[in-house]
Amino acid sequence: MREIAYAKINLALHVRRRREDGYHELETLFAFVDAGDVLTARPAEQDELTVVGEFASQLTDPFGNIAGRALAKLPRSQRLAVALEKYLPVAAGLGGGSADAGAVFRIVDELHGLPEDWRDRAVALGADVPACVESRMCLGHGTGTDLSSVVNDLGSTPVLLVNPRVPLATGPVFAGWDGEDRGPLPVGPASQIAERGRNDLEAPAIALAPQIADVLSTLRDAATLARMSGSGATCFALYADPEARDVAAQRIARDHPDWWQMTGKLRP
């Protein structure tokens, strides 16, 4: 079986408050790009996970990897050998590990079905894993685990992802949030939420990785919307048509050959 671990982006991310349990109360618009890591699976005598690709060297412990932990979380009658081609950067605001876990859940679902409590098992791996299992645009509340539907009028929108190749841990970014509640997500279809929303983690992320500001400045040149995703450092840009996206991608590759990028479309 072959499954894509679709890159997750936050079209908007509003941080409302710090909770007593140490987590943060969030409101976010999850979206997924039709590209990402690639997982293949085959029956095996025991569970195995091998990782290859550009960013494989950053994942030195296969079963410390969230994809390996996802295998261990799901009851099955058949063990699986999973090969993960790691195209998404690590600690990048794309939910790469969660996307990999989501792909494992979909593989197991196709082969064996998921247990009724699969959402609880997904949450135990990470707050955004349930959204990544379904990999469809949705709203997230609480710590990102409470999901609800949204009118997706942005399906097939051309998107460009850019990362300055600066890993950025989530904890320090949240710790740098100034604690000011700037209000809830806007109400309406996805396009209105994205346009009128914001990412409250951009400022603390830029304080830790100033290169993010350079990426955003470059992306905003021709995009209909450019914003940082999650806790960074990856930024995304939406475009009116694939031609505008591809021209921007070529220009960035020429002017910033050290930056990572990926092109695609938003999933319907």
Under 8 Å between Cβ of 151 and 186: no
Domains and CATH numbers, the chain: 2-148 (3.30.230.10), 158-265 (3.30.70.890)
Supply φ then ψ for residue 111, to 5 degrees: -85, -40
**Helix ranges, the chain (H):** 66-73, 96-112, 118-125, 129-134, 170-175, 190-196, 202-208, 211-219, 242-255
Under 8 Å between Cβ of 188 and 197: no
| Active site residue ranges | 8, 128
Enter the tokens of residue 34.
């039709």
pTM of the complete model: 0.94
Write 106-112 long-range contacts (CB < 8 A, 24+).
Answer: 106/3, 106/133, 106/135, 107/1, 107/3, 107/39, 107/41, 107/80, 107/82, 108/71, 108/74, 108/76, 108/80, 110/1, 111/1, 111/41, 111/76, 111/78, 111/80, 112/74, 112/76, 112/77, 112/78
Q: Which among 101, 91, 149, 96 is positioned nearest to 122, based on CA atoms?
A: 101
Q: How do the pLDDT tens digits run along the chain, 268 residues long?
A: 999 999 999 999 999 999 988 889 999 999 999 999 999 999 999 999 999 998 888 776 655 689 999 999 999 989 999 999 999 998 899 988 999 999 999 999 999 999 999 999 999 999 999 999 999 999 999 999 999 999 999 999 999 999 999 989 999 999 999 999 999 999 999 999 999 999 999 999 999 999 999 999 999 989 999 999 999 999 999 999 999 999 999 999 999 999 999 999 999 9
